[in-house]
Structure 1
Amino acid sequence: MGLGDGITIIDTGFGERPAFCAAYLVAEAGRAALIDCGTLHSVPRMLAALDAAGVARDAVDYLIATHVHLDHAGGAGALLRELPAARLVVHPRGAPHMLDPARLIASARQVYGDALFDRAYGGLVPAPAERVLEAADGQVLDLAGRPLLLAHTPGHALHHLSVWDARTRAWFTGDVFGISYREFDVGGRPFAIPTTSPVQFDPGQMKDSVRRLLAAEPEVCYVTHFGAVRDVRRVGLRLVEQVDAMVALAQFLADAPDAHAALKQALTTLYVDRARIHGVGDPEQQVPALLDMDIELNAQGLAAWMERERRQAARGG
């Protein structure tokens, strides 16, 4: 679906529900960049989107991965085979995983289990080293005269970057600006929650990254889950507040008899309350129905962060 100014949103089909996981096409003067690409299963959808937009496969100069989680970059290696002129642009911390995805696959199998991994992701194809560009913080890509600035934005993951399109005053934010499903929109106003996700969530970094995005005074943030988020300052400040609330819950429940289950319930209640304040109808049903997997991953991400904090404290640093 075209969003104007040469930007097209692509539903990658991940998650077995529509409008759940997005990639973006930015076209300028006959050249193009893709931002994220979904999983191995998403490659046919990505190619079909190029065809529908009238973009030749050899006109794609860049495939930019906001980070190397598999719903964002799992199909990158296979997609590069179909895009002869494209370079894979990735955070330096993520590049080794694109060249040799064995550890990434093992980590994902540990989080999701073998059956879900195979059904949802389908595996990874290594990217050729000569076609991988490690993105420096502040680096600018030239897309036929249209500058795309790359900013390191950790918090969701250490290997996360966001893309600034000055033409439209838009950030392509991957997961660092939260998740915002369109089913929660009320009167055109978006509702968003942070996504912590194991294993590299860091609350301080996430809040700093959100503030960095806001400092550019963007008109819109294009999030992976899912689509265009406007009213950006309000949403960003609410995300910062929710990060603090989530951390407080995780710390309070750390010694509960079943800490994981208790934290999942507490996060559900937090998001239900925020959704009700936002004006979402029947949030007690809507939030668990739409955010069940996100709540599970957020609980895991918070727990992983607290364990790192405990280990660091035990080492005295």
Structure 2
Amino acid sequence: MSSFPNITSSSLKFFLMGVPGLEASHAWISIPFCCLYITAPSGGGIILFVIIIESSLHKSMHYFLSMLSTADLDLCISTLVTMLGIFWFTARQIIFHACVAQTFFIQLFTVMESSVLLVMAFDHFIAICNPLRYTTILTDSRILNMWFAILVRSTVILMPLVLLLRHLCSCQSHVLHHSYCFHPDIIQLSCSDNKINSVLGLTALIVTAEVDSIFIPLSNTLIIKTILSIASPQEQHKAFSICVAHIGAVVIFYIPLISLCFVHRFGQKVPPYVHSLMANVYLLILPVMNPIIYSGKTKQIQRSIKKVLFPKGSEV
């Protein structure tokens, strides 16, 4: 038994499993994952590029969407090397410090995504329920402060989890059950008491995903109530389109996240490959689906994408 703090990064290594039980099919499994890794950065990158280039999209709503796209891209990139390394080159080893860093960044961008979705719900609430004060409430300086607050919130919540990993004691097994380093997976390998790590991990989930997932539906309920009181059918349709896009993004984020965390803690009888596939799909489905949802439901985004990417066609 060895303590993490007394072992150098070169001597302590973890072994990533990919998809346990389906190792012989990794080459075939890599095909859909490669397609997702191509689609996710492309979709998010296009939306981010269009928002930066197109001056008509320099509004608070689209600033928040660019934050969401940034978190999506970073979440996708944080697992790219290890996941494709396993599927293509059977590169399963990862040193301790790299594993901890990957764990931190995956959780950091996850908390940031949750925070941005909450801020977007607030943005929609002000835009629909109090439109006359929208520009005075959501100024550029306040949006910048919100982005800074999201970074601080994410770092403060997650830093104790990462620091406490260094005080666990490692058993003989260093085999992780995913194609990337995941906090609940790492603490399960410990021979020492990991209750504090487990409680802090669950607390981090509650104060982010659980709390945010309470305020977001509350905000959407008030928004829908306001929408129903709008006389103009055209304005109702426009407001509903914005809400549907946001609710879709919330659903595809929170349901897989909460399901994955609870399966890790309470689903010991679930086959290992189910854990792994859920974890892989969770990190890739968000960056793939969010650009589709927002570009499909927001006509202004659609027009801007056509204008920037197909300037000749947009003039016809």
Alignment TM class, shorter chain as reference: under 0.3
Q: Determine which structure has greater relative contact order: mean sequence separation of CA pairs < 8 Å that are 6+ residues apart, divided by chain length.
A: 2
Normalised by the length of structure 1, the TM-score is 0.26
Normalised by the length of structure 2, the TM-score is 0.26
- Bigger helix share: 2
